[in-house]
């Protein structure tokens, strides 16, 4: 990533946790959350500018938040331990499906 930063100063990465999870599950990674965090370690936390957070079952990009297979707390706590202090944007259709209170409660249970 250093070569890219050199060529394009100020460029950074958006980590879409739901998309990354599908990619890791498709590749049959046994611990997709750990693999995602490993990718961030290798890339360098200083290159992570933005996180999109949504849940899924590892097969479809359905933008659930309340339900899904991703251990979102593990990923968020891992990012915090790596030093991430940027924004986390919630991507969800669950406000319509489950209601805002359910989304808010889920968020409270996963935030570091």
Q: Which domains does the chain have, with CATH numbers?
A: 2-110 (3.20.20.150)
Per residue in 75-102, pLDDT (tens digit) is 999 999 999 999 999 999 888 888 899 9
Per residue in 18-32, pLDDT (tens digit) is 999 999 999 999 999
Three-state DSSP at 13 gives strand
Any idea what the Cα angle at residue 26 is, between residues 20 and 27, rounded to 5°?
Answer: 90
Contact 72, 55 (CB under 8 A): yes
Per residue in 38-54, pLDDT (tens digit) is 999 999 999 999 999 99
Confidence (pTM)? 0.90
């Amino acid at each position: 990533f250093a070569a890219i930063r050199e060529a394009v100063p100020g460029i950074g990465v958006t980590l879409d946790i739901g998309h990354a999870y599908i990619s890791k599950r498709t590749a049959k990674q046994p611990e997709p959350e750990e693999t995602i965090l490993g990718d961030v370690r290798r890339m360098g936390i200083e290159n992570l500018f933005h996180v999109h957070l949504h849940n899924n079952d590892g097969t479809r990009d359905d933008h659930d938040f309340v339900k899904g297979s991703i251990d979102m707390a593990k990923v968020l706590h891992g990012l915090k331990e790596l030093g991430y202090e940027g924004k986390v944007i919630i991507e969800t259709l669950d406000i319509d499906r489950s209601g805002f209170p359910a989304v808010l409660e889920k968020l409270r249970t996963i935030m570091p």
